[in-house]
């Protein structure tokens, strides 16, 4: 191999690496901006005085505080499956979530050496899912459609067990008590409206969540399927009583497809 050819290959490699690093930086800057908006949208809302006694009892059991920060942050690790019967992929993630507003930004690295970066977010009424190889090469992007907005609203609501202060401070959450073991929470307007049903265990803590439907991507098409999840292994984490384990699934042809299972590593 001639010196000129070797130099040419090395130069091309450096240019490609530079492009990847630039695009990865651009992607991370985009997500940093979303997180900044989440912090900026936070309000120091007064504690709610309109909550049903059963909802107040749930907040108390989880150690929810009305004088806490306007956002929460936590880290996770776990396993994801992209399709039924697909290969399991390990992930690590961190998330910022609004306490007084329905906002969040989840950033994860998964696959070998964390080569695939995933961002799932809901900010200023817009939901998004972006997946990029090395944080640079787009693999999937769905942002701002009514189904996406509603889906991310559903995720925010479903994760109240990891965001208990929102029970006391988020005035955009509408609570309905069905019975002593069933509570519903809803938020959003029109096609973006979402509602989650919480089922409580014998200790009065949330152990199961469900929604009639959430959009699922199958062979390039988005279809509405029943969606549910569960939480378990409650512990004192970061001064709150939170589930250390959780999973979510779609119901496909009558069978549960668990696509995400994770552990809560830290919370503040």
Per DSSP, helices labelled H in the chain are 3-41, 53-61, 146-158, 165-169
Q: In angstroms, rounded to a whole number, what is the distance separating the alpha carbons of residues 81 and 154?
A: 20
Predicted TM-score (pTM) above 0.75? yes
Assign 21 a pLDDT band (cuts: 50, 70, 90): confident
Q: Are 242 and 62 within 8 A, CB to CB?
A: yes
Segment 111-136 shows an average pLDDT of: 92
Quick one: 57 exposed, middle or buried, by C-beta within 10 A (0-12, 13-18, 19+)? middle
Instruction: Check pLDDT > 80 for residue 119.
Output: yes
Instruction: Check pLDDT > 80 for residue 220.
Output: no
Determine the pLDDT at residue 202: 95
Segment 87-105 shows an average pLDDT of: 96
Q: Which domains does the chain have, with CATH numbers?
A: 3-43+50-267 (2.50.20)
């Amino acid at each position: 191999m001639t010196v000129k050819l070797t130099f040419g290959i090395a130069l091309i490699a450096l240019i490609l690496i530079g492009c990847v690093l630039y695009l990865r930086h651009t992607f991370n800057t985009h997500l940093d901006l979303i997180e900044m908006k989440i912090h900026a949208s936070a309000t120091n809302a007064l504690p709610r005085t309109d909550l049903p006694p059963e909802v107040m009892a749930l907040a108390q059991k989880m150690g929810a505080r009305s004088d806490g920060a306007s956002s929460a942050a936590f880290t996770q690790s776990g396993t994801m499956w992209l399709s039924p019967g697909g290969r399991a992929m390990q992930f690590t993630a961190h998330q910022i979530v609004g306490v007084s507003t329905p906002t969040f930004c989840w950033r994860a690295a998964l696959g070998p050496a964390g080569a695939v970066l995933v961002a799932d977010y809901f900010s200023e009424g817009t939901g998004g899912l972006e997946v990029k190889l090395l944080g640079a090469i787009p693999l999937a992007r769905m942002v701002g459609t009514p189904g996406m907005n509603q889906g991310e609203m559903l995720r925010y609501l479903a994760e109240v067990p990891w965001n208990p202060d929102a029970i006391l401070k988020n005035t955009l959450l509408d609570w309905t008590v069905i019975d002593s073991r069933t509570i519903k929470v809803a938020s959003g307007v029109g096609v973006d409206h979402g509602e989650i049903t919480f089922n409580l265990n014998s200790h009065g803590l949330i152990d199961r969540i469900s929604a009639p439907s959430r959009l699922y991507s199958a062979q390039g098409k988005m279809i509405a399927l029943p969606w549910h999840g569960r939480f378990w292994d409650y512990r004192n984490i970061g001064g709150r009583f939170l589930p250390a384990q959780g999973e979510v699934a779609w119901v496909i042809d009558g069978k549960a497809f668990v696509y995400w299972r994770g552990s809560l590593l830290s919370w503040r």
